[in-house]
Structure 1
């Protein structure tokens, strides 16, 4: 099984936000979990997926974050055995969604809409780019499960960075 193909970001859609230098993002990703991860989830252990966004400016030949801090959007998925539904908590929005199947819950996490980022102290005639990555946050696992997860390639779910450039203004 190739986890690189089963855990990736395929598209990032960027549009202007309501305020100057603010942007709304929608993402299309693919999330497929291993049988071990599904079993752990169904046995009551929650899993957290994190989107990390950066805005970098080009200074000379290098890209630097400058005043633009990383923005993180976390989604925690859990299984409710009583209702036999999957629950996804969106930390930033402080919202819970229930899904009858794991595939629907993962699709909700894989295709977030209206995520917001802002470019701080944007300067004219300077190039800016945005980046996003999605990963399974192993640090949120219970302590006894962390060490085996760190040592297993199956648990190292990370899309790597996907970048795009902002058009100059």
Structure 2
């Protein structure tokens, strides 16, 4: 976890659902300050739909985007957002090597795994991601932090997109989670 003063910590227990359903849920979120930056640690749980698993096993890359927004709690509707960070990651399967790969599209880092379960765990594990400089936040002001992760259908190969937009098996996103933050 973060080796600094935590401004926010949320831990949730995941209960095994009675019926398998595709979902993205949050196990833990920590936001803190280190070296003049507000950093995010995030642990997510991914459960893919049968449609997505079939596509992945046939070599179709799946792209996920996590959006983090920090804005003053009393910000007006028309005002620009204080900080918006998008983290894009991709899950791939290499049939010839029989390996899964998790790629961070922002940093270019990639890791390979022998099982889909291990790759999904790595996909949901984000550590020490810089969100905004700490000096951009004012003392005594409350901020709202919201996080949401979605499957990016627009990143699918062109022939799959029309079907994916119309099929519920491709629509996967987490709920929007919001927390209050005071520096």
TM-score by length of 2: 0.80
C-alpha displacement at 1:58, in angstroms?
2.0
State the shift of 1:7 in Å.
1.9
Question: How many pairs does the alignment contain?
Answer: 164
1:93 aligns with 2:107: yes
Distance 1:93 1:143 in 2: 25
- Alignment correspondent of 2:151: 136
Residue by residue, what CA displacement relative to the aligned partner does 1:57-92 show, whole Å, maximum 9, x if unpaired?
Answer: 1227x6776352421111111111121101111122
* Matching residue of 1:81: 95
RMSD over aligned Cα atoms: 2.2
CA distance in 2 between counterparts of 1:65 and 1:100 reads: 47
Cα shift at 1:2: 6.0
Q: With the length of structure 1 as denominator, give the TM-score of the two structures.
A: 0.86
Structure 2: how far apart are the matches of 1:63 and 1:28?
Answer: 30
Contact 2:69 2:81 in 1 (8 A): no
Cα distance change of structure 1 residues 16 and 124 upon mapping to structure 2, 3 Å threshold: closer
Native 8 Å contact 2:101 2:110 kept in 1? yes
> What corresponds to 2:179 in structure 1?
164
Structure 2: gaps spanning 5 or more residues: 1-18
Matching residue of 1:102: 116
1:112 and 2:129 correspond: no
1:38-77 to structure 2, matched below 5 A, reads: 38-59=53-74, 66-77=80-91
